[in-house]
A and B are shown apart, each in its own frame.
Chain A
Amino acid sequence: MSRRKGAPEVNAGSMADIAFLLLIFFLVTTTIETDAGLDRMLPPIEPPDTDVIIKQKNIFTVNINRSGQLLVEEQLMDIRDLRAAAIAFLDNGGSPTGTPDYCNYCKGKRDERSSDSPQKAIISLRNDRETQYSTYITVQNELVAAYNELRNREARRLFGRDFTEMESEYLNPETPSSVRDELKEKVQRIQEIFPQKLSEAETSKI
């Protein structure tokens, strides 16, 4: 007679155990990936058709040797001074007033022997095959930091906020497209003011 009362209730006591098991499985097999790194463009393999002549004073050479020492503009330098040296070079603005290359926002020394304007300034990075990868990344990081610092300065002057912040908001896919369009213009403006010209020549075999 008691059967008529309906199906007996299923014991759900072990449900928690099963769910915990699943939870632990997912915790172990998955990772929360937060990949970040330094973005770089490699030069195309085909050389440009026309040879561009660049003045020696517009090139800032950085050499890393196999033991991780830096030779900047033919002089030995500590890696901690690299950022300041790169900023001084990029922000120099050596062209005199009135010339087309004159840089009206540069705050550098305006030394004639250094770069004409940020548009002309090129940083050339060379390294040895035996150079340690971490040293190379540190140097790359410092050079990018030099550009970012100058770009932030100009962005704060023109738009009242940091360039790096604007750029990461622009690149974030969750930003609404209306905001992105507005940011795109500002980001490109700053990128024109301080274009990132970092060349990596083929490794020297010496």
Chain B
Amino acid sequence: MSKFAKKKDGDLPAVSTASLPDIVFMLLFFFMTVTTMKDSSLFVENILPNADQTKKLEKKDRVIYIYAGKPTQEYSKIFGEEPKIQLNDKFANVPEVGPYILSERAKKPQELQNVLTTALKVDRNANMGIVMDIKQELRKVNALKVNYTTYEGNAFANLQ
């Protein structure tokens, strides 16, 4: 009998979890360095169209973002179904685009003020009217470099 009882001593030793915090911290630092904080929450629907001839937007400090699209469900009761422009954290009308660009430009360092790009993040179901209006406003404040931000993908998928 004692021969069987002896086996109990041979149990697997517990795996040491002492290095687990180190591993998790490593992951944490990885994510902290490669990601950026969301700076504004979206009030508009923002499914971008696809394109395959894109250029990457390098240097985030040189980019000003403008969002446009239909207000999301919770806001559509107040603002209606028509596409709206979102600047930073609020809805805006077309004439506010120019002053917004100027104020954003003033915040940037002097040497970057001439090389800024305006990224237009427009929902794929928006119509061109609102885009034309934004473009006209941008021309008025001489912010001529624009980037139509898109998803990477087959452009013909937009047509469906």
Q: Bound state CA distance, A70 and B149, in angstroms?
A: 23
Give the distance to chain B from A60, nearest Cβ to Cβ, in Å: 18
Contact with B along A74-104 (1 / 0, CB 8 A): 0000011000000000000000000000000
Contact with B along A166-188 (1 / 0, CB 8 A): 01100111000000000000000
Residues in A with CB closer than 8 Å to B18 are 12
Give the distance to chain B from A145, nearest Cβ to Cβ, in Å: 5
The answer to whether A39 touches B145 (Cβ under 8 A) is: yes
The prevalent SS among residues of B at the interface is: mixed
Q: Bound state CA distance, A3 and B56, in angstroms?
A: 63
Which one of B17, B31, B38 contacts A27 once the chains associate, using CB atoms below 8 Å?
A: B31
Which one of B24, B57, B147, B158 contacts A19 once the chains associate, using CB atoms below 8 Å?
A: B24
Which one of B34, B124, B128, B148 contacts A203 once the chains associate, using CB atoms below 8 Å?
A: B128
Which one of B17, B124, B138, B144 contacts A132 once the chains associate, using CB atoms below 8 Å?
A: B124
Q: Bound state CA distance, A20 and B24, in angstroms?
A: 6
Which residues of chain A (28-59) have a CB below 8 Å from chain B? Answer: 29-45
The answer to whether A136 touches B128 (Cβ under 8 A) is: yes
How many residues in A have their beta carbons less than 8 Å from beta carbons of B?
56
Q: Does A134 contact B (CB under 8 A)?
A: yes
Give the distance to chain B from A194, nearest Cβ to Cβ, in Å: 14
Give the distance to chain A from B62, nearest Cβ to Cβ, in Å: 11
Which one of A15, A20, A68, A168 contacts B55 once the chains associate, using CB atoms below 8 Å?
A: A168
Which B residue sits closest to A80, measured CB to CB?
B156
Say yes or no: A133-B124 contact (C-beta < 8 A), given A16-B20, A30-B36, A38-B51.
Answer: yes
The answer to whether A135 touches B53 (Cβ under 8 A) is: no
Give the distance to chain A from B40, nearest Cβ to Cβ, in Å: 12
Q: Bound state CA distance, A133 and B94, in angstroms?
A: 17
Residues in B with CB closer than 8 Å to A141 are 51-53, 150, 155
The answer to whether B125 touches A138 (Cβ under 8 A) is: no
The answer to whether B128 touches A30 (Cβ under 8 A) is: no
The answer to whether A132 touches B125 (Cβ under 8 A) is: yes
17 contacts between A and B (CB under 8 A): A16-B17, A20-B24, A29-B38, A31-B38, A35-B147, A36-B149, A37-B51, A37-B149, A37-B150, A43-B139, A79-B159, A133-B131, A137-B148, A138-B159, A145-B53, A148-B53, A168-B56
20 additional contacts (CB under 8 A) given A39-B117, A41-B145 = A16-B17, A19-B25, A22-B28, A30-B32, A30-B35, A35-B147, A37-B147, A38-B53, A38-B147, A38-B148, A39-B146, A42-B135, A45-B142, A79-B159, A127-B132, A130-B128, A130-B129, A132-B124, A132-B127, A171-B56
